[in-house]
Amino acid sequence: MYATPTEITHEADRRRTVAIIAHPDAGKSTLTEALLLHAQAIESAGVVHGKSGRHHTVSDWSAIEQERGISVTSSALQFEIDGTVVNLVDTPGHADFSEDTLRVLAVVDSAIVLLDAAKGFEAQTLQLLDVCLKRSIPVITVINKWDRPGKHPLELIDDIERVTTMRPMPITWPIGDAERFSGLYEPLSKKAYRYEQSSAGAHRPEQTPVPEADLDSVFGADGSTCLDEIQLLQLDGYAFSPADFLARAGTPVFFSAAHRNIGVGQLLDFISRHGARPGARIDISDNPRPVKTDFSGYVFKIQSGMNRAHRDRIAFVRVCSGVFERGMVVHHAQTGRPFTTKYSQQIFGSRRSTLEIAWPGDVIGLVNATALSPGDTLYGETPVAFPPLPHFAPKHFRVARATDGAKYKQFRRGLELLRQEGAIQVFIAERLGEQSPILGAVGPLQFEIVSSRMAEEFSAPIDYEELPMTLCYGSTTEAHEALAKRSQAECEVATRADGSVVVLFSSIWKYQAIKRDRPELEFFSLSGSNETNEP
């Protein structure tokens, strides 16, 4: 279809593309499920506490996620509420999968930072928050698990201001805490809602509106304390400002008990009313690509194994500008080659449906787009290329070998597909040969995931041999020749899939010793920048 710039802008303004980021066990997947429940995108939430009768969440679709109860890969979910289309991306919380979360943060327009009320900011949360701030992504702060013992709300507000350097702007405020948590106050509307005590539920809770004048009589001392705390915050300038939120000068703050579905409706309403809209994306030449121009899209994730019956491979693409139509011919900026998009799908966790049209902010799935990799750009008529995705340098290394030599073909194919996804990094060392590739990971749990997927998806079980390396740098052919005969206890020289040379070092001291011994050799980070500081 032909869409006018006005139509494209209108559809883009209806979109909200949001990531949820947090430390493990803060309740990300539970919050995701609760948002879907409140938007009526699902009939009942999928979290039931207790080992017997526990169901997996919509966003945690893989077997290992369902078994362990953790998110190990990002998932995209689209739903509509009050005329607003929300593209929600649930991300892994575990630090071992930071690179997957980093890819998601390259394509969203705002982020929900989820905190545990008892723990506040943790190391993984701080790292991801830093990425948001550096990329100027507006941040919504949600303090979860308020029905359990935790920090004082004013202490958490101080922590948010100190850590984020943004002004906290409470949108909801708790009435009572832990076992006394019974309501939420909304400073903007000057209303409160009372919630009946109940165990974790699969349905939206019953809530009773309470006018501000009745807080004392309904909630007793907790109601008075709530009003006193809000008045104190407003006198100190913590009132909500939409402009400050979008300018990253302030962060809206919500309190919730997501497993009871409390505080979720207010968050969803805020995203609909005030969430960041899709805007112009900066291309590789630092020029903005307005949303109303012709189609462009950014590949941020490749996922195999979502459909075991067909063993297909899906490229997740964020629409950056224009309108996407199923079957249209697009161009791959990295190769210049055209290809059709007949098999385009809308992804909802593990569920899929044929997608006919998509607008800026939407996430589409292109099935079996084998030429695509994370960080690639697609465009319609006007050429454009967006900056590639950054990569984390691996810190853990193991040698992988097929347990069944007769399945070597499946072994190589499986590792290649997982490498293309970005699930693992693969290096070939001359000493070990192609039959024993070196796998590099940000965290050790990645090896477990790769082992599980190799066995389940590719019928090629693998064994690992620990490799005592801790640092990885790119280098040159000269380094390959100079270091090839060095002891394995010092370093290991290998090549990546693109043919570039990498050097793995067993310790910082071995790295420094080789730098002193061979000062003419060049070493640089795997993202391509010159390494000027010692690690």
Shortest CA distance to 137 belongs to which of 283, 265, 19? 19
The residue with tokens 């649930």 is: 90
Amino acid at 2: Y
Cα–Cα distance measured from residue 357 to residue 185, given in angstroms and rounded to the nearest whole number: 40
Tell me what pLDDT residue 511 has: 92
The residue with tokens 């950054």 is: 390
Tell me what pLDDT residue 369 has: 83
Please report, for residues 28, 118, 178, 263, 358, the alpha-carbon distance to residue 94 in angstroms, rounded to integers and kept in the order given. 11, 18, 26, 25, 31
Q: Where along the chain do the CATH 3.40.50.300 domains lie?
A: 11-274
Question: DSSP E strands: which ranges in 181-306?
Answer: 183-186, 191-195, 207-211, 250-255, 281-282, 288-289, 296-304
Q: What is the CA radius of gyration of the chain?
A: 25
Tell me what pLDDT residue 75 has: 73
| DSSP string for residues in 396-443 | EEEEEEESSGGGHHHHHHHHHHHHHHTSSEEEEETTT-TTSPEEEESS
Instruction: Give the dihedral sign, CA 137/128/392/347.
Output: negative
Tally of residues, the chain = 535
Contact 377, 299 (CB under 8 A): yes
Tell me what pLDDT residue 447 has: 93
Contact 28, 91 (CB under 8 A): yes
Cα–Cα distance measured from residue 14 to residue 464, given in angstroms and rounded to the nearest whole number: 49
- Torsion angles phi and psi, residue 319, rounded to 5: -75, 120
Would you tell me how many other CB atoms lie within 10 Å of the CB of residue 284? 12
Cα–Cα distance measured from residue 298 to residue 106, given in angstroms and rounded to the nearest whole number: 9
The residue with tokens 């640089």 is: 524
Q: Where along the chain do the CATH 2.40.30.10 domains lie?
A: 281-379
Q: Sheet of 250-255: strands edge to edge? A: 75-81, 84-90, 15-22, 110-116, 139-144, 250-255, 167-170
Structure tokens at 362: 């939407």
Please report, for residues 339, 347, 352, 425, the alpha-carbon distance to residue 370 in angstroms, rounded to integers and kept in the order given. 11, 18, 19, 18
Cα–Cα distance measured from residue 464 to residue 449, given in angstroms and rounded to the nearest whole number: 13
Contact 328, 386 (CB under 8 A): no
Would you tell me how many other CB atoms lie within 10 Å of the CB of residue 14? 17
Contact 194, 263 (CB under 8 A): no
Amino acid at 6: T
Q: Sheet of 183-186: strands edge to edge? A: 173-175, 183-186, 191-195, 207-211
Residues of the chain with pLDDT under 70: 1, 43-74, 93-98, 197-201, 305-311, 349-350, 527-535
Cα–Cα distance measured from residue 358 to residue 346, given in angstroms and rounded to the nearest whole number: 9
Shortest CA distance to 283 belongs to which of 382, 384, 135, 359? 384
CATH superfamily entry for domain 281-379: Translation factors (2.40.30.10)
Shortest CA distance to 254 belongs to which of 273, 237, 269, 236? 269
**Domain 11-274 grouped into CATH 3.40.50.300:** yes
Cα–Cα distance measured from residue 14 to residue 25, given in angstroms and rounded to the nearest whole number: 32
Environment class of residue 158 by beta-carbon count within 10 Å: exposed (0-12), middle (13-18) or buried (19+)? middle
**What architecture (CATH level 2) is domain 396-517?**
2-Layer Sandwich (3.30)
